Structure 1
Amino acid sequence: MTTLWDTTGSAVVKALSAERRAAGALAFGLALTLVVVVDEKNVAAAESAATAAAAAHPCRLLIVVRRQIDAPHPRLDAEVSIGGRLGPGEAIVMRMYGRLALHAESVVLPLLASDAPVVTWWQDEPPTRIAFDPLGVFADRRVTDCDRAPDPLAALRLRAADFEPGDTDLSWTRISGWRTLLAAAFDGRSDRPRSAHIDADPSDPSAQLFAGWLRAKLGVPVDVAGTGKRGIQAVRVAVDDGEVAVSRADARSGTITRPGVPDRRLPLRQLDVGDLLAEELRRLDHDVIYAEALSAWSGIPDLAGRSGHREHIWQDPMAQAPAAAAVPAAASATATSGPVAEGGS
């Protein structure tokens, strides 16, 4: 491991090359570059999650810690390692001070793995608009987590208003197991669903995305009602002869219930953030199903048909700007419209 204090971007590039030579390999089978954007107070959690994801997907891990933007002088401290505490691959932790933190791309761009996709993950509260952050603009995939925002549903509405193909959110990834089991529950059935109910806190963005997915796929009204417990507890779909349901049995399994068929218990594990991130890195293309679910929940039509192109919009966080200017005009008018949003919140 090489630690550089008050350094430059070119010195970091040279340190990475030296570490690769010292490791005895001049080329690694890198599947992608993972850029992690995090505040100092959450660095340990972000490193742990990113290390778990990097173990499943060989990548160059670039952790950008924006510190003290108001510092009078720009400064870069970096830690470069291969096969160290951040896993078997290549990892660089960069702490940026002062105005340099607003131009992190000037350091990150030369460090991207050549000819490999780029995924940017905001471990903290996601940006109001991804175009404000150049680390998101140059990425092929952009991963946020609305569950970390002070108001998760407001953050999810912003994600819908700001959506471009390539965006995703870990709130969506959290329901992958639920969607798999519910699809399995309908295997071999031909009856028509009538309505659906999700047993979860209405303020849970995962539950609302689940409701949007059900509405998009089944075309039925969906209700989300609270249970007082964190996370989704059950989903029930009314059919002609009763209901098809998936309910959580414990932290690792769920139960499928269908009319006239014995109950089945199948794996339904509660994933930690590292596992969620690894799951999301399995696909590097546009997630059309997520776009459809987000569109159905928010009431903003045809999110999947957007261009997917972003241009960087400069915003100085030190300047006071009207909040309304940060969100496309369609957001306030349409983000809460639609039966799912009304029934769930």
Structure 2
Amino acid sequence: MIVDLPNTTISKVSKQIIQIREQGGVVALGRVLTLVIETDFEGIEPAIKAANDASREHPCRIIVLADDNSNSAQNAKLDAQIRVGGDAGASEVIVLRAFGEAASDPESLVTGLLLPDAPVVAWWPDEAPAKAADSAIGRIATRRITDAASQKDPHAFLTQLANTYTPGDSDFAWTRLTPWREQLATILDQPPYDKVLGVEVTGPVDSPSVDLLAAWLGIQLGVEVNLIRTPADDQKHGLVGVKLKRASGDIEIVRNEPGVATLIQPSQPTREISLPRRSLRDCLMEDLRRLDPDEIFGKIVTRSFKETTPRPTVTAERKATN
């Protein structure tokens, strides 16, 4: 069910939601949080699709706030759309399209639509504010999710994030690493338990996840990490490989095709493991599972990406093997 409310107000939107609930019982209660998404008009549908899928695990109210990037007072207006039932997954979706001056105060647009006594999560799938915690929407959020890979300069954004980090900040560049971190932790939990002497991380020059994985390994293992850059990742296959150097023989995970990686270990047969690149839905579902600050992410980003922090050794680009 989709209800369009052109040239409306937040008060009218709120009343319409109550009316839908009273008339049809379509909007179920029991939402666990409010997810506020800030994007532009082009980003509305991809963000809603990911949020709807994630809502099947985390029932929530989704508020999508999009503006036309215009400051024209002449065209100032607010168009709204309410989606419930089959058009909203396990959530209820409120889309706010703000034009001109109507977009000048994002906080006032969403405050009247927040679920009472429920945590607020803010997500910027595209361009993120300079300091998420101080932005209009970030100030009312318990968790703030950005995506360094969607920024104009992903590496500069990591530095910016390190210098402005506030507990509760999170980034999909880190969330995409969960399968890699799990695989590496599992490998190191197996005998012969040799000390790792050095690490090589290989991946696209434009991938902030490569930098974060290198930083995590360097801090956790206390070793030097050598970054090997491949050309920019047009097809978004992500990380290419990790090599752990040990006296008993190197361990290597190499992903030369999407979704599948090769695990090479001394004295063991080479085998393939599932290592797909994570979708927006997967990343969002994981970040919504915890509303407390991610202390590990906070430590990694603040200790490794501030302007005065030494960077891992970078080897010149090489051609991708896939």
Superposition TM-score, scaled by structure 2 size? 0.90
Residue in structure 1 matched with residue 319 of structure 2 by the alignment: none
Q: Decide which of 194, 197, 200 is 2:200's aligned counterpart.
A: 197
Matches within 5 A, 1:133-144: 133-144=135-146
Q: Deviations over 1:137-194 (max 9, x none)?
A: 1100000011111111011111111111110111111111111111111122321111
Distance 1:122 1:2 in 2: 25
SS at match of 1:41: helix
Residue in structure 2 matched with residue 338 of structure 1 by the alignment: 310
Residue in structure 2 matched with residue 6 of structure 1 by the alignment: 7
Distance 1:344 1:13 in 2: 55
Contact conserved, 2:63 with 2:110, CA < 8 A, in 1? yes
Write the letter of the residue equivalent to 2:304. Answer: W
Contact conserved, 1:34 with 1:59, CA < 8 A, in 2? yes
Write the letter of the residue equivalent to 1:238. Answer: K
SS at match of 1:210: helix
Distance 1:13 1:43 in 2: 20
1:219 is aligned to 2:190 = no
- TM-superposed CA distance for 1:132, in Å, is 4.6
1:37 is aligned to 2:38 = yes
Residue in structure 1 matched with residue 61 of structure 2 by the alignment: 60
SS at match of 2:112: helix
Q: Which runs of 5+ in 2 are unaligned?
A: 317-322
- Greater alpha carbon shift after TM alignment, 118-127 vs 240-249: 240-249
| Equivalenced residues, count | 309
Give the superposed CA RMSD: 2.0
1:71 is aligned to 2:72 = yes
Contact conserved, 2:27 with 2:84, CA < 8 A, in 1? no
Superposition TM-score, scaled by structure 1 size? 0.84
Distance 2:108 2:181 in 1: 40
- TM-superposed CA distance for 1:99, in Å, is 2.3
Matches within 5 A, 1:1-345: 1-24=2-25, 27-73=28-74, 74-189=76-191, 190-228=193-231, 230=233, 231-248=238-255, 250-298=257-305, 300=306, 333-334=307-308, 337-340=309-312, 343=314
- TM-superposed CA distance for 1:246, in Å, is 1.8
SS at match of 1:134: coil
- TM-superposed CA distance for 1:25, in Å, is 5.8
SS at match of 1:158: helix
The ranges of structure 1 where at least 4 consecutive aligned residues each deviate by more than 4 angstroms after the TM superposition are: none
Q: Which runs of 5+ in 1 are unaligned?
A: 301-332
- TM-superposed CA distance for 1:33, in Å, is 0.8
Distance 1:22 1:255 in 2: 56
- TM-superposed CA distance for 1:201, in Å, is 2.1
Contact conserved, 2:62 with 2:92, CA < 8 A, in 1? yes
